Structure 1
Amino acid sequence: MLTDDSQVKTGLKPLKVDQILLAAEVEFAERGFEGAGMKGIAKRGDVSQALLHYHFGTKDKLYAEVIAQRSKKINEERLGLLAQVDLTSKTALSGILNALFRPPLGPSGGARSYARIFSGLIVGRERDQALVKEHYDPTAQKFIESIRIVLGHDDRVVAAQSYTLALGALIAVIARDGRVERLMGESRQKQDIEEILEQLIKFSTGGVLALAAA
C-alpha cells in the first residue's frame, strides 16, 4: 500500500493513485481477476504500464490495494452508522441492518464496478478469502456482537448466522443488474437505493428474528 510519504518520494500524486485504483476496479469488475491485465489497467488509468508496475508491482498487489481502499471506505461508514444505533431501542435491529447494507449500496460502495467484485469476494478463491478475512472480518465481528446484544443471546452462533445470511441477501441485489425488476415484470421500473434498502431490512429482520426464535 502506498503511504503519503511514498507518494511524495516517488512523485506519484494521490489524485493519480485514485485514478489508477478506479481504473483497476473497473477492469477487475468487467474482466475478473484472471481476465484483467496490467496493460488494460494502465490504459484505463492513462499511465504507462511500466509506471504501474513500478508503483504497484504485480497484479495481485494492485488487486489487494483496490480491495483495501474500497473496504476502508465501506467499513468506516458502516462503523459510523453502527455507532449511532441505540442497542436498547425497539428499532435497534433495523438500525444495525441499515448500517450493514447502506454503505455498499451508496457512494462508499463504488457503484456497479465494485459491486461485482464485492459479490465475488464472498465466494471467491483463496486470494479473495484472505482479503475478506483481513479487510472485512474485524468489522463483521462488531456487527455480530451488536446483533447478539439485541437478540439477548449468550452465544454468538445465531448472531453470526444472521449476519452471514443477511450479507447473502445484500449480495443478491448489490449489482443492481436489473434481474430483480425483470423477475417482477418487464414493465417494472428500476428500484432506487432507498427502496432496495427498505426491502433488504424488512426481509433480513424477519429472518434474524425467526432464527432467534428457533
Structure 2
Amino acid sequence: MANTQFSTKDRILGAAEELFAQHGFSGTSLRQVTTRADVNIAAVNYHFGSKDNLVTEVFRRRMDDMSAQRLERLRQAQEASPGELEPILAAFVEPALALAQDRNGGGAFIRVIARAYAEKNDGLRKFLSERYGHVLRDFARAMAACVPGLSKEQLYWRLDFLAGALTYAMADFGLIKRPTGVSDATHRTKAAQELIRFAAAGFKS
C-alpha cells in the first residue's frame, strides 16, 4: 500500500510540475492535474488537501534537497577554506545548476521557478521566504565575512543579482549553448566556473 501511495503522490507532483511550467499556477486547474496524472480528485485532496498545498509540495520536493546540499557545501567550504569567497559561491551555485540538469523533471522545475518570479502569488512567496530564507541568510553571513568592506545593503543587492543570474543560467536562456560533443556535466561545470568567477568579481569590487 505504501508503494502505491507513493507512486500516486509522485505522479500527481510530476503532473503538477509539468502543468505549472506550461501554464502557470493560476492557469492550471486541479482537473488538468488529475487528468495528466490519471488519478481522481479525491487522490489530490487526500495527499495535498488543496491546490495551494500542491504548489508548495512541488517546491519542497526539489528545494528541500537542494537547500540541504547548499548548506552542507557551505559548511565544508568554511571549514576547508575560511575567508575565501569562491568556495562559498560554489556551494551556492553548483547544487542549483545540478538540479537544472536533472533529467527527471529538472528542466520543468526551472520553468516553475521562473513562473514564481513572474506571477504575483503572495502565499507562495511567503512560503518560500519562510522555508528557505534561512539559506540565503546563512550564505549572506558567510559572504559578509569575506567582503567586510561591503555594507549590508550592498551585500544583499549583489546576492540578489547573483540569484537572478543563477536562475537565468539554470534556465539555459543564454547565448552560450552546449557545444556538440560536450556532455551536460562538462557544460554545467563550465557554466558554474564562469558564474562563480563573475560573481566573485562583483562582490569584491
Which TM bucket (shorter chain)? 0.7 to 0.9
Look up the match of 2:160.
Answer: 164
- For the aligned residue pairs, the C-alpha RMSD in angstroms reads 2.9
The answer to whether the 8 A contact 1:29-1:116 is kept is yes
| Aligned with residue 189 of structure 2, among 156, 176, 194 | 194
CA distance in 1, matches of 2:60, 2:98: 18
Query: The residue matched to 1:147 in structure 2 has which SS?
Result: helix
Of the structure 1 ranges 188-197 and 68-77, higher mean CA displacement relative to structure 2 is found in 188-197
- The answer for the alignment partner of 2:30 in structure 1 is 38
Rounded to whole Å, the distance in 2 between the matches of 1:88 and 1:155 is 26
Confirm or deny: 8 A CA contact 1:78 1:103 kept in the other structure: yes
State how far apart, in whole Å, the 2-side matches of 1:105 and 1:99 are.
11
Question: Conserved in 1, the CA contact under 8 Å of 2:83 and 2:146?
Answer: no
Alpha-carbon shift at residue 153 of structure 1 (Å): 4.7
Match of 1:148 among 144, 147, 169: 144
1:67-94 deviation per Cα after TM superposition (whole angstroms, max 9, x unaligned): 2232211101111111110378488211
| Percent identity over paired residues | 25
Write the distance in 2 (CA, Å) between the matches of 1:94 and 1:84: 13
Q: 1:66 to 1:25 in 2, by over 3 A?
A: same
Gap regions ≥5 residues in structure 2: none
TM score, norm. by length of structure 1: 0.79
Q: Give the corresponding residue for 1:115.
A: 110
Q: Does the CA-based 8 Å contact 2:83-2:145 persist in structure 1?
A: no
Using CA pairs under 8 Å that are at least 6 residues apart, name the structure with larger relative contact order, 1 or 2. Answer: 2
Which runs of at least 4 in structure 1 moved beyond 6 Å after TM superposition?
none
Q: Residue 42 of structure 1 contacts residue 52 of structure 1 at CA under 8 Å; is this kept in 2?
A: yes
Paired residues for 1:1-214 under 5 Å: 13-86=5-78, 89=81, 92-107=84-99, 111-125=106-120, 126-153=122-149, 156-177=152-173, 179-181=174-176, 189=180, 192-210=187-205
Match of 1:100, as an amino acid? F
Letter in 2 for 1:206: A
Residue 164 of structure 1: how far off its partner (Å): 1.0
Instruction: Check 1:91–1:198 CA distance in 2 against 1; reply closer, same or farther (3 A cut).
Output: farther
Alpha-carbon distance in 2 for matches of 1:48, 1:88: 51
Aligned residues: 197
Tell me the distance in 2 between the aligned counterparts of 1:97 and 1:31: 33
**Worse-matched range after superposition: 64-73 or 79-88:** 79-88
Query: Which runs of 5 or more structure 1 residues have no equivalent in the other structure?
Result: 1-6
Corresponding letter in the other structure for 2:51:
K
CA 1:149–1:51: 2 relative to 1, 3 Å: same
Contact 2:9 2:47 in 1 (8 A): no
The answer to whether the 8 Å contact 1:77/1:103 transfers is: yes
Post-superposition Cα deviations, 1:56-76, rounded to whole Å, max 9, x if no partner, equal 222122101212232211101
Cα distance in 2, alignment partners of residues 208 and 154 from structure 1: 8
